[in-house]
Amino acid sequence: MKQFTRALPYVVCAATATACTPVWAQSSVTLYGIVDTGLGYQSSSTTLGSTTGGHSAFKMINGVWAGSRFGLKGAEDLGGNTKAIFQLEEGFNSATGAQSVNGLMFNRQAYVGVTNDAYGSLTAGRQYASYYQLLSPYSPTTWLTGFYGAHPGDLDGLDTIYRANNTLLYMSPKIYGFKFSGSYSFAGVPGSVNQGSTWAAAIQYAQGPVGLAVGFSRINNSTVNGGAFGTDSATSNAGAQAGVSAVTNGFQTAQAQQRFAVGAGYTFNSQFDITATYSNVQYIPGISSAFRNQATWNTGGLVLHWKPTVAWDFAGGYSYTRATQSNGISSSAQYQQFNLSQYYSLSKRTGLYALEAYQRANGQTLAPNATGNGTHIINATATLGDGFQTTPSSSRSMVGVGVGMVHRF
């Protein structure tokens, strides 16, 4: 009896705790990541805007086949086929351990929202705009990588370098093969709902072996009438402008950027598929921009993917970019790019890759003056993909080769 009396308080506590435990909705949280490191060679490397002093470079590279990252994503069942969802994703340099964007912890994605099988999803935070989300399956970066294989400088935003802050995005469910999406990114500039904002819309059809997507996006500079890219702009990376390369260097003071793209794909069988893209990109000046006339680039690209065995993937691609004549340029810039890729799967999560690329530039483009005021005309120089934004070639040609290993967890 004495023993029972001593044990009674513990029994009562346990019973009470059990009775009072709430019934939580089913939820899950996943930790995931990618580590990608390799070695790369480029035939000529100089500073952005320079047409002299280029030297070959051999260095360690990272995030080539897939950007090195770690993240958390989760979902909670709210009932009625509705879930609360979130994703937090940090990009990092696997060669140095540094953040991929200084000052931004979850620089790749950081959003929360709700999703329903019948009504689609609504998310809010830092994320990819609708334009990229529905066009990405047909992007050249799928098999050629963004580092070497994005269209020059990722001019048309078909790689992942454009992420929008303060974004509200709706994605529809798939309806008879169709999906559509719209997004608006708030800049929060007092007195204006447009200044510094980004908005995008896209529609995709994918059924059986056929796929097609069309998208449009507009990025507004938060600086009134154009000029230095405003830190309040929705696509700002901790104050820096995304997508500045040897292609767009002289036009980065634009008041707005507009992108229109069409992507398509066809799967012949389990071994062969092909994708094609067309894009039209416009950099629109304001009265305070360093250039006076709208700059327009048109790009067409094609990628063929071959999977002869379970372990091997091979791909080859070609793209041609041509600028229109404007801003005193009589011979408009042209860029021809050739890419090859090979990937060998060591396992479901680990692979080895090799990449080869060549680009030839012709014509002329603009570069900022050394004083920071105005621009001047220079010969167009080569810049492969978007992995050489700050270290383009000093000449019209560039060869790039890379090998590496990628592991997913």
pTM for this one? 0.91
Distance of alpha carbon 158 from alpha carbon 300, whole angstroms: 12
**Whether the Cβ atoms of residue 70 and residue 33 lie closer than 8 Å to each other:** yes
- What tens digit of pLDDT does each residue of 7-62 get? 434 433 344 444 444 445 689 999 999 999 999 999 999 999 999 999 999 999 99
Interval 81-87 mean pLDDT: 97
Residue 41: half-sphere exposure toward Cβ, Cα within 13 Å? 9
Question: Structural domain boundaries of the chain?
Answer: 32-67+129-408
Region 242-247 average pLDDT = 97
**pLDDT greater than 70 at residue 101:** yes
The arithmetic mean of pLDDT across residues 239-245, rounded, is 95
64-74 pLDDT tens trace:
999 999 999 99
Which CATH superfamily is 32-67+129-408 part of? Porin (2.40.160.10)
Gap between the terminal Cα atoms of the chain: 56
- For the segment 83-111, the average pLDDT, to the nearest whole number, is 96
Instruction: State mean pLDDT over 321-331.
Output: 96
For 2, the 3-state DSSP assignment is helix
Of the candidates 338, 316, 319, the residue with the CA atom closest to the CA atom of residue 263:
319
pLDDT of 55 reads 97
pLDDT band for position 237 (cuts 50, 70, 90): very high
**What secondary structure letter does DSSP report for 240?**
B
